[in-house]
A and B are shown apart, each in its own frame.
Chain A
Amino acid sequence: MIMGVTSGQWFFILQGAGWTLILSLLGFVGGTVVGLPVAVFGTSNSRVLRILTGGYVKLIQGIPLPVVMFICYFGISIAGYDLPALVAAGIAMTLYSSAFLGEIWRGCIEAIPKTQWEASESLALGKIQVLTSVILPQAFRVAIPPTVGFLVQIVKNTSYAVVIGFFDLTYSSRVINNSTFKPFVIFTAAALIYFAMCYPLSVLSYRLERKLKRHSRL
């Protein structure tokens, strides 16, 4: 017994923390895979592509994540599949983070001076070559600090998966709270675990940003 909660119960809470990490990772990987095209198409010359990606971003950013979770959850079940809540939560996190990451990275790509595009075109590089070997490597450097900062949002927002009954840190601590009713102990512990995951990322993002600013001033 530590602070009125048995070690088995503490272990249960920690298990939830593990699933929080897994869902965060899933959200980030999915968000990268979908968000990169969103960012690239958002800067394309084609008006249709720009309008489509802009609409996608506005759509996802205008709907609360819990509602996105519900839509994925019920959507999977009416499509006739019986999948664990992790899949629905993973899809919802992918949609959510792809919209925000796409928007962040679009800004980073646009921050690369236009002369870089023109110079590589005059070297007779193809469109994809310009992107992969000239623009994206430079945009990558600019993109790291805000992306690390957004990781904090991903970790924190996985807690919204609790609405569809996904077993994460929030869910497990709520279960233990219901059986022990020690809300201050349990939720302080849960908050501290989240803090331990998020705070290093916040500090890292801040440091990287300062470093980048100093570097670009020189």
Chain B
Amino acid sequence: MNYNFDFSFIGQYWPSLLDGLWISAEMSAVALIGGFLLGVMLAVARTQGSPTVRRLATGFVDLTRNTPLIVQTFWLFFGLSALGFLVPAIAAAVVALAVNTSGYTCEIVRAGIDSVHYGQKEAAACLGLSRSQVMRNVVLPQAIEKMYPALISQFVLVMLATSIMSQISVEELTAVGLQIQTRTFRGFEAYLVIAAIYLVMSWLLRVIMNLCYNVAFPRQRHISQARSTFRPGAPAPSDTSIATGARP
């Protein structure tokens, strides 16, 4: 195998790479927020709704979780155009992504809701909160706080899943790779570069989500700070200075 790697296409194509990156980021952001809200609604419907609502929500979640994203996207995009609605590909892509991720988000949030102790709900009811107030102010915040790490992983998966939308002609990052391949025949190098960009994006998304966590749930931040200063089993800082005879 003697193959000369040639990354010189970057010089010419970096503006289109940046454009693709921007479209991918936009799609991910909208799909994340939409999918999260829809998922939380589904989770509430599955835990609080009437039997019919529950069954409907369960059926919807099972359907979205057991069929591939790409088939859902084709169904939506080609189906809508067959009905005569000409929607832009990116809109169909975002809706499909949001629906797809809502099923997973629903299961994560539902597990969180189930894990909130019953006493919390009773206490909130004793304070005279209505059922929806209990849900919004007591149960959901705790459920999401508990399930946050799983949600971050799910969000990263959604961001990565935007890469399939090149199949319905959305000009996102993966589509730019195909464009470079057809013009320069440097498909391998192009996709190595794109893989690196996705790696950085998924790392960045994790960092941003963790920052959001610290802002949204200050309680957890205080707990982890307290844990790092007072390790269980280890003597408190002031004790060690006395024990070692150190003076401030």
Q: Would you call B226 an interface residue if the criterion is a C-beta within 8 Å of the partner chain's C-beta atoms?
A: no
Q: Would you call A160 an interface residue if the criterion is a C-beta within 8 Å of the partner chain's C-beta atoms?
A: yes
Q: Which of A60-68, A115-123, A127-135 contacts B (4 or more CB under 8 A)?
A: A60-68
Which residues in B have their C-beta under 8 angstroms from that of A156? 66-69
- Chain B binding surface SS class: helix
Contact with A along B90-126 (1 / 0, CB 8 A): 0000000000000000000000000000000000000
Contact with B along A173-206 (1 / 0, CB 8 A): 1100100011110011011001100110010000
Known: A79-B1, A163-B167, A182-B82. A170 touches B68 (CB 8 A): yes
Check if A152 sits within 8 Å of B82, measured CB to CB.
no
Q: How far is the CA of A85 from the CA of B164 in the complex (A)?
A: 18
Q: Whole-angstrom distance from the CB of B246 to the nearest CB of chain A? A: 32
Check if A174 sits within 8 Å of B68, measured CB to CB.
no
> Contact size class for B?
35 or more
Q: Would you call B188 an interface residue if the criterion is a C-beta within 8 Å of the partner chain's C-beta atoms?
A: yes
Q: Would you call B135 an interface residue if the criterion is a C-beta within 8 Å of the partner chain's C-beta atoms?
A: no
Contacting A at CB under 8 A, from B48-98, are 62-63, 65-72, 74-75, 78-79, 81-82
Q: Would you call A9 an interface residue if the criterion is a C-beta within 8 Å of the partner chain's C-beta atoms?
A: no
Which residues in A have their C-beta under 8 angstroms from that of B62? 199, 202
Q: Whole-angstrom distance from the CB of B25 to the nearest CB of chain A? A: 14
Q: Whole-angstrom distance from the CB of A52 to the nearest CB of chain B? A: 17
- Contact count A vs B, C-beta below 8 Å: 123
Q: Would you call A71 an interface residue if the criterion is a C-beta within 8 Å of the partner chain's C-beta atoms?
A: yes
Check if B67 sits within 8 Å of A191, measured CB to CB.
yes
| Shortest 10 CB-CB contacts between residues of A and residues of B | A183-B78, A64-B163, A159-B68, A74-B188, A198-B66, A187-B75, A64-B160, A74-B187, A62-B202, A62-B199
Subset of 19 A-B contacts with CB under 8 Å:
A64-B161, A64-B162, A66-B164, A66-B166, A70-B174, A71-B192, A73-B187, A74-B188, A152-B65, A162-B167, A170-B68, A177-B78, A184-B75, A187-B79, A188-B75, A191-B67, A194-B66, A199-B66, A202-B62
